[in-house]
Amino acid sequence: MPGTRVFKSATIIAGLNAKTVKGDKASEYATAIMYLAPAKMAGGANLCAMAREAGCDPTHDNGGCLVNSGQAQVFSSINRARIAKTQRYLADRAAFMAELVRDIERFMKWCDKHGVKPAVRLNGTSDIQWEVAHPCIRFGGYYESLFLAFPTVQFYDYTKVYKRVYRQLPSNYQLVLSYSGANQRYADAVTKAAQDTGSNMAVVYRTKELRDYFVDKLVQYGETCRDVIDGDQTDLRFLDPQRVIVGLYAKGRAAKADTSGFVVR
Ligand code: SF4
């Protein structure tokens, strides 16, 4: 796209195609996203603990995972690269964390150069619990997590691992729950987690029209009854008001064709 500035590294990528507009908070940020191979796509460990239950596992019954959206569904080389990256993460976590630290530092410099603030989404296509068992080293110092190592970077993710929102998370890490009606037990637990903790909850609707129909309406899912906002205007979930349902519409072949209940009709 002409005029698009792109940040590329071995682990995270970002694009910037809008000028910073005064008063528009979203345009003040650039988001770097990491795309790994979800669930067990790379073999070995499962990167998405709740994917089976939530009906989005792309390696099982064609779940509606975002890994099959956009260009990745067309270019299998993109998914091959994600698998290779994930295998590096699984084989040597410490070395991978060192790569991430280096790339986030480079991204911060890039943001500085372009006059925007850095935001990072580590789970573009995974659901890793980065707040536990992912220490790192920065400038010779040991940190329990990347969030503590980079206090001036805003991190955020969507998650189906609802137990994560009950944890005391660092103030620069925002988690949004991801609803799925594929399984009543999961739907009950995720709506209860939203209610218990006040966390926002994203709901993916079948079409843009359906999402638009629900925007600005009070909608009930299990224990959660909240206003729906248009979540597609920006992906910067940390700028959303609190205690809302983030309404999104299905993108990509798998999500559009999803019949599991992950995508709401
Ligand atoms: S939608 Fe999220 S949790 Fe589900 S398989 Fe994809 S990355 Fe994992």
Q: Could you report the per-residue pLDDT of 31-61, keeping only the tens digit for each? A: 999 999 999 999 989 999 999 999 888 887 6
Say which range, 69-73, 105-109, 184-188, has the weakest mean pLDDT. Answer: 69-73
Q: How far is the centre of ligand 1, averaged over its atoms, from the C-alpha of 58 (Å)?
A: 8
- Give the whole-angstrom CA distance, residue 34 versus residue 233: 21
Q: How far is the centre of ligand 1, averaged over its atoms, from the C-alpha of 19 (Å)?
A: 31
Read off the DSSP letter of residue 61.
Answer: T
What's the pLDDT at 263?
82
With a 6 Å cutoff on the Cβ, whether 41 touches ligand 1 is no
Greatest CA separation found in the chain?
52
- pLDDT above 90 (res 91): yes
Q: Best of 125, 163, 186, 203 to mutate for ligand 1, by most ligand atoms within 8 A of CB? A: 125
With a 6 Å cutoff on the Cβ, whether 65 touches ligand 1 is yes
Read off the DSSP letter of residue 12.
Answer: E
Neighbours of 145 (CB within 10 A): 19
Q: How confident is the model at residue 72 (pLDDT cuts 50, 70, 90)?
A: low
Nearest CA owner, ligand 1 atom 6 = 65
What's the pLDDT at 200?
98
What's the pLDDT at 60?
79
Q: How far is the centre of ligand 1, averaged over its atoms, from the C-alpha of 64 (Å)?
A: 8
- Give the whole-angstrom CA distance, residue 177 versus residue 186: 12
Across residues 167-178, what is the average pLDDT?
98
DSSP 132-161: SS--EEETTEEESSHHHH-TTSEEEEEES-
Q: How confident is the model at residue 193 (pLDDT cuts 50, 70, 90)?
A: very high
Across residues 212-237, what is the average pLDDT?
96
With a 6 Å cutoff on the Cβ, whether 49 touches ligand 1 is no
What's the pLDDT at 251?
85
- Give the whole-angstrom CA distance, residue 173 versus residue 166: 13
Contact 56, 180 (CB under 8 A): yes
What's the pLDDT at 27?
86
What's the pLDDT at 65?
81
Listed by start position, the domains of the chain span: 5-264
With a 6 Å cutoff on the Cβ, whether 38 touches ligand 1 is yes
- pLDDT above 60 (res 121): yes
What's the pLDDT at 17?
65
Q: How confident is the model at residue 3 (pLDDT cuts 50, 70, 90)?
A: low
- pLDDT above 90 (res 249): yes
pTM of the predicted model, to two decimals? 0.94
- pLDDT above 70 (res 212): yes
Neighbours of 95 (CB within 10 A): 11
Q: How confident is the model at residue 158 (pLDDT cuts 50, 70, 90)?
A: very high
CA of 262, closest atom in ligand 1: 1
Q: How far is the centre of ligand 1, averaged over its atoms, from the C-alpha of 48 (Å)?
A: 6
Q: How far is the centre of ligand 1, averaged over its atoms, from the C-alpha of 210 (Å)?
A: 22
Q: How confident is the model at residue 20 (pLDDT cuts 50, 70, 90)?
A: low
High-pLDDT (> 70) share of the chain, %: 92
Q: How confident is the model at residue 265 (pLDDT cuts 50, 70, 90)?
A: confident
Q: How confident is the model at residue 23 (pLDDT cuts 50, 70, 90)?
A: low
Q: How far is the centre of ligand 1, averaged over its atoms, from the C-alpha of 178 (Å)?
A: 9
Q: How confident is the model at residue 133 (pLDDT cuts 50, 70, 90)?
A: very high
Q: How confident is the model at residue 153 (pLDDT cuts 50, 70, 90)?
A: very high
- Give the whole-angstrom CA distance, residue 202 versus residue 258: 16
